[in-house]
């Protein structure tokens, strides 16, 4: 055998060996459903935990980011209530840094260092307030109307919980990444559109989930590609079952701090919220505009009211869809997938048009006659403008 032929054989053997090892390694990683089940099994065994979390959120009217440190411990209160302590380490706005929330399952404290104010309360006070609110609405629900909840149908095991989840989403492995000083599996959970409520279908998007490879402890979660919002929480530190001291779950009120009872503060906040909500409610006699033009093959699937806005959803081929939303107040959140933002003229007024790189998804926004309009989803930017111009 010649040297050249021997070299080729050895090279092919090495390639096959490397491929075999790679395939074997991939087969050893559990499937997505098994990883989710193991994650729930890990969480079932948690008695206490400590984490540092990086948080990013893009909401309809603002973006937020920050770092919080969290401690938690089960069975702190007299009825098994958990203890929790959360402290803001960093934030986009300096006034939030240092805010600390603490509960031992019976009492709670909320400390604002900037104003040296502490809000205090008890679980019993909050329970009494909840009962009072329920009494206010007693009789609004017909007594013969079945309550759409049966505790007996709740999943009893992690495997059952995952099976129920997979009725509404598909789960797939997306490789591994470094996170919190360890390696984590990445999973993607994609909603099954026809199984979701209308408000979730309109929002769209999917979830990324990261699980520590050693025990599948969740290290991060991300909601992305949604029409109205996106968010991500990842851990830079995560530890469980370390035997946390109960003293962590109380707050020593700083000297000179102003102390406010939570029930008094909530009463004032409720009055202010009611006044603000009254200004933003879409009138009961509001008649939504309807497009005279829609893309070829589009059919009106349903009309619903979400957050005071009227939403018309149109179904397209291959499970795609787009929506037309109209209301007195709808804050605009640029889609995470948007790669281009353009100022446009819509029906004689200024508007904003977002589009993705492929040009097959868009979000168009404008205001008209004191109402806000949104058109978005699986629709080309030019088609969104055509739909808007045809509204009657």
pLDDT, tens only, 67-77: 999 999 999 98
Task: Determine the pLDDT at residue 332.
Answer: 65
Which band of pLDDT confidence, cut at 50, 70 and 90, is reported for residue 138? low
Q: What is the mean pLDDT of the chain?
A: 81
At the topology level, CATH places domain 32-130+150-272 in outer membrane lipoprotein receptor (LolB), chain A (2.50.20)
Nearest to 208, CA basis, from 336, 374, 296: 336
Percent of the chain topping pLDDT 90: 44
Phi-psi region of 225 (alpha: psi -120 to 50; beta: other; left: phi over 0): left
Q: Give the range among 173-177, 281-285, 287-291, 346-350 with minimum mean pLDDT.
A: 281-285
Phi, psi of 102 (to 5 degrees): -140, 140
Provide the 8-state DSSP code for 132. H
pLDDT tens-place string over residues 226-264: 777 789 999 999 999 999 999 999 999 998 888 888 876
Closest to 43 in 3D by CA, of 74, 88, 86, 2: 74
CATH 3.90.350 fits 299-389, yes or no: no
| Residue 135: alpha-carbon gap to chain centroid | 31
CA distance 211 to 34: 12
Given a cut of 90, whether residue 15 has pLDDT beyond it is no
> What is the C-alpha separation between 294 and 384, in angstroms, rounded?
9
Quote the pLDDT of residue 73: 95
Which pLDDT score, from 0 to 100, does residue 387 have? 95
Three-class DSSP category at 55:
strand
Q: What is the pLDDT of residues 284-317, one digit of tens each?
A: 677 889 999 999 999 988 887 776 678 888 888 7
pLDDT for residue 24 is more than 70: no
Tell me the CA distances in angstroms from 356 to 275, 283, 319, 338, 339, one per residue in order.
38, 34, 19, 4, 5
Do residues 211 and 219 make contact, with C-beta atoms less than 8 angstroms apart? Answer: yes
Sequence ranges of the domains in the chain = 32-130+150-272, 299-389
Report angle CA 360, 365, 366 to the nearest 5 degrees.
145
Query: Which residue in 79, 384, 42, 351 sits closest to 219, CA to CA?
Result: 42
pLDDT greater than 70 at residue 10: no
Residue scoring higher pLDDT (24 or 3) = 3
CA 278 to centroid of chain Cα atoms: 27
């Amino acid at each position: 055998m010649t040297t050249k032929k021997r070299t080729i054989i050895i090279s092919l053997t090495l390639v096959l060996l490397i491929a075999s090892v790679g395939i074997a390694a991939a087969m050893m990683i559990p499937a997505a459903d098994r990883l989710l089940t193991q994650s729930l099994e890990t969480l079932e065994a948690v008695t206490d935990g400590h984490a540092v979390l990086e948080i990013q959120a893009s909401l309809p009217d603002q973006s937020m980011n920050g770092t919080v440190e969290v401690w938690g411990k089960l069975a702190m209160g007299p009825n098994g209530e958990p203890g929790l302590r959360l402290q803001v380490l960093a934030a986009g706005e300096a006034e939030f840094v240092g805010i600390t929330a603490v509960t031992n399952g019976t009492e709670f404290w909320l400390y604002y260092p900037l104003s040296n104010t502490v809000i205090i309360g008890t679980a019993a006070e909050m329970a009494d307030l909840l009962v009072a609110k329920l009494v206010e609405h007693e009789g609004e629900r017909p007594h013969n109307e079945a309550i759409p909840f049966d505790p007996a149908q709740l999943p009893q095991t992690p495997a059952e919980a995952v099976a129920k989840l997979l009725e509404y989403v598909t789960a797939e492995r997306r490789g591994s990444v470094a996170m919190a000083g360890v390696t984590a599996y990445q999973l993607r959970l994609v909603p099954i559109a026809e199984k979701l409520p209308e408000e979730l279908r309109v929002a769209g998007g999917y979830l990324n989930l990261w699980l520590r490879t050693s025990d599948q402890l969740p290290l991060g979660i991300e909601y992305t590609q949604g029409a109205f919002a996106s968010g991500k929480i990842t851990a830079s530190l995560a530890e469980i079952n370390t035997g946390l001291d109960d003293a962590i779950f109380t707050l020593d009120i700083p000297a000179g701090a102003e102390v406010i009872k939570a029930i008094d503060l909530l009463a004032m906040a409720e009055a202010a919220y009611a006044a603000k909500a009254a200004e933003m409610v879409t009138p009961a006699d509001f008649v939504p505009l309807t497009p005279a033009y829609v893309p070829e093959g589009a059919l009106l699937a349903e009309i619903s009211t979400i957050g005071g806005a009227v939403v018309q959803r149109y179904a397209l081929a291959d499970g795609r869809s787009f929506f037309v939303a109209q209301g007195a107040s709808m804050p605009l959140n640029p889609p995470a997938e948007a790669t281009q933002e353009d100022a446009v003229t819509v029906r004689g007024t200024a508007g904003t048009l977002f589009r993705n790189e492929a040009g097959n998804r868009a979000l168009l926004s404008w205001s008209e006659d004191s109402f806000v309009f949104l058109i978005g989803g699986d629709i080309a930017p030019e088609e969104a403008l055509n739909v808007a111009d045809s509204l009657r």
